[in-house]
Structure 1
Amino acid sequence: MIELGKKQELTVAKLVDFGVYLGETENAGEKETVLLPKKQVPEETQKGDKISVFIYKDSSDRLIATVREPKITLGEIAVLRVAQVTRIGAFLDWGLEKDLFLPYKQQTKKLHENEEVLVALYIDKSSRLCATMKVYHYLRTDSPYGEGDTVTGVVYEISDNFGVFVAVDDKYSAMIPRQEAQGNYKPGDELTCRVTAVREDGKLTLSAKKKAYMQIYEDAESVYEIIQEFDGELPFDDKADPKIIQREFGLSKNAFKRAVGHLLKENKIEIKNGKISIR
C-alpha cells in the first residue's frame, strides 16, 4: 500500500518518457502505482529496481513520489521556516518543491515570514498533508529527564485552566502548571526550566523558577529594578492586591513578599505609609 506522508521503498513497475511508475511490486497495476518524475529518476534505472521515496501530493492534488528528503514526515514534529503568510494560512519550507500548508485554524499565534515554528504533520479531512502548531498529541513521553534536571523547550500553547504547554527539546511533552506559571508567556517563547516531576504517563512537570533559596535572589533583583522604574517608590506595599502584584511584577503574592523581605534584610528598601521606597 502506498502511504501518503511516509518514506517507502517502492519498485519500478513501468518506465515512461516523463519518469517511472512505482508500486509495491514490479507488476503493480496502474491504480497501485505513483509517479516519480523523470528529473528525479536515478540514471540507468530499470524495471524491478527498488527506489526509496517520499509520498506527497502535487499542485493538482495527485499522489507523487520524490527522492528528496522532507524535513518532516507524517506524525513527526519539526521546526520549519515560514515561507509565506496568507489570509487562509501560512506556507512552510519543508524541503520539497511544493511548500507545506499550515491552516489558519491550526496556528496558535500570528506568524511572520522567515520565522521558525514548531509543527507536526497530519492528514486533514480532504486527505491532504498539512501542518499544525497544536502539537500536544504528537509529543513523545519517553524523555531521558528526571526530577531536578534542567531542560530547555519552546512554548507551543497556553491554557487558562491548565498552564503553559512546553515542547522540551522540540519533542517531549511537558507543562508548567497554572499555579507555577507566573509571568507573561506566549507561544514561541524559549524557556529554561527545572523538572519538578515526571508523571506516570511520562510527561514532565516543569517550573520556570529555580529552587526557592536560589529564586529569591533573582526575584529580589527583579523587584528592585522595577521599583527603580517607579522613580524609586512603589505606590503600594506587600499587602497589595495579588492581581496588581502579578500585573506589575509577574510574581505571586507570596513570592513578592519573600523578595521584599529579602530586600528589607539587605537594607535596600523601606516600607512606610503603605509604600515601598528605595533607601
Structure 2
Amino acid sequence: MIALGTLNTLTVKKQVKFGFYLDGLSWGEILLPNNVAPAGLEIGQELPVFLYLDSEDQLIATTEKPAIMVGQVAMLPVVAVTKVGAFLNWGLKKDLLVPFSEQQIPLKEGQKYLVYCYVDLSTRIVASTKLDRHLHKTEPHYNPGDKVDIIVSEQTDIGYKAVVNQQHWGVLYKNEVFKPLRRGDKHTAYIVKVREDGKIDLRLTATTYKQALELTEQVLNKLKQNGGKLALTDKSSPELIYETFGVSKKAYKQAIGTLYKNKKIVILDAGIMLVGS
C-alpha cells in the first residue's frame, strides 16, 4: 500500500527528459526528478522513494531521506515563521509546516523543537509540537526487559519524559539516570513495566540475569584489585556507583546483596570487604 510521507518501493515506468515516472498504482504516475534519481536507473527497476507534495502541491518522489517521516518524532529547527505557521528544515527542498493550531507555544526562527509528523485532513504533511495530541493513542504492548528506542522529551520533577518507539509516552526516573539528558536525545532503553493506566516505566540499562551475574563478578574483581576492600556501599551516591561500575544504584545494591547472601563479602559502614580479608 502506497502512503504519503513514508518510504515506498515503486517501479520505474518510463523515462522523460526531466526525470522518471514511477508506477504509483491507483495514485497514477509519480515523478522522480533527475536531480534525485540514482545513476544508471532503468525502466522496470524498483527503488525505495519518499513521497511528498512539492511547492505546487503536486505528488512527487525523492530518494532523499528526510529527518522525519509520517508517524515519527524528531528534533527539527525552525527556518521561517509566516502568516500560515512555522516552517522546519527536514532535509527536503520544501520545508515542513507547523500550523499555528499545532504549536504548543509560538515557535521562533532559529530554535529547535520536538515535533510529530502526520498527514492532516487536507492531505498535507505537517508537524505538531502538541505531542500529547498524537502519541499514546494505541495500547502499549511491551514486556519487562524489552529493548526500545526513545527520544527524550522533557525533564520533570520525577525524571524525564520520553517518546517510546515513536508511539507512546514513557518515564525515566531520576534515580535511574546517571548522565545528562537533553531534549531530543536518542537512546536505547528497556521496559521496566507497563502500568495499569498505560504509563511506561523505563531504564537506560538492561537488568537481565546474565548481566546481574556479570556485575557481581565485576564487584569481586574490583575488591581483589583494591586489597579486598571497597569504599562503596548501598548508601553511596548513585553518581559514584555509576562512575565506578556504570550501573544504577539499584543494580549495585542487588549485586552486593547477592554477594552478601553467598557469604563472599561483608558490608560495613565504611564499605564492603571480601570475606577472609
TM-score for the superposition, normalised by structure 1: 0.54
- Contact preservation (8 Å) 2:144, 2:192: no
Q: Unmatched 5+ residue regions in structure 2?
A: 173-182, 186-190, 203-234, 237-277
Q: In the alignment, what sits opposite 1:200? A: 196
2:119 maps to 1:138: no
Q: In the alignment, what sits opposite 1:86? A: 82
Question: Following TM superposition, by how much is the alpha carbon of 1:175 offset from its aligned partner in structure 2, in angstroms?
Answer: 7.1
- Deviations along 1:217-242, one digit per CA (max 9) or x if unpaired, are xxxxxxxxxxxxxxxxxxxxxxxxxx
- Deviations along 1:3-59, one digit per CA (max 9) or x if unpaired, are 2111011100111001001115xxx68x52210001111222211011110000001
Residue of structure 1 aligned with 2:119, choices 94, 119, 123? 123
Q: In the alignment, what sits opposite 1:58? A: 54
Are the structure 2 counterparts of residues 51 and 143 from structure 1 closer, same or farther at C-alpha, using a change threshold of 3 Å? Answer: same
State the alpha-carbon separation in 1 of the partners of residues 8 and 22 from structure 2: 10
State the alpha-carbon separation in 2 of the partners of residues 62 and 95 from structure 1: 18
- Deviations along 1:123-148, one digit per CA (max 9) or x if unpaired, are 112111000112223358467889xx
Are the structure 2 counterparts of residues 197 and 49 from structure 1 closer, same or farther at C-alpha, using a change threshold of 3 Å? Answer: closer
State the alpha-carbon separation in 2 of the partners of residues 197 and 2 from structure 1: 35
2:10 maps to 1:10: yes
Are the structure 2 counterparts of residues 173 and 49 from structure 1 closer, same or farther at C-alpha, using a change threshold of 3 Å? Answer: same
Amino acid at match of 1:22: L
State the alpha-carbon separation in 1 of the partners of residues 151 and 31 from structure 2: 42
Amino acid at match of 1:167: A
State the alpha-carbon separation in 1 of the partners of residues 151 and 22 from structure 2: 43
Are the structure 2 counterparts of residues 175 and 45 from structure 1 closer, same or farther at C-alpha, using a change threshold of 3 Å? Answer: closer
- Contact preservation (8 Å) 2:154, 2:160: yes
State the alpha-carbon separation in 1 of the partners of residues 45 and 197 from structure 2: 44
State the alpha-carbon separation in 1 of the partners of residues 144 and 112 from structure 2: 25
TM-score for the superposition, normalised by structure 2: 0.54
Amino acid at match of 1:7: L
2:39 maps to 1:43: yes
Are the structure 2 counterparts of residues 156 and 138 from structure 1 closer, same or farther at C-alpha, using a change threshold of 3 Å? Answer: farther
Identify the range of structure 1 (56-65 vs 136-145) with the bigger mean alpha-carbon deviation: 136-145
Give % identity.
39
Are the structure 2 counterparts of residues 142 and 89 from structure 1 closer, same or farther at C-alpha, using a change threshold of 3 Å? Answer: farther
Q: What's the RMSD between the two structures over aligned residues?
A: 3.8
Q: Unmatched 5+ residue regions in structure 1?
A: 158-163, 177-187, 207-212, 215-279
Aligned with 2:101: secondary structure?
Answer: helix
Q: In the alignment, what sits opposite 1:22? A: 22
Aligned residues: 180
Amino acid at match of 1:154: S
Q: In the alignment, what sits opposite 1:223? A: none
State the alpha-carbon separation in 1 of the partners of residues 10 and 33 from structure 2: 14
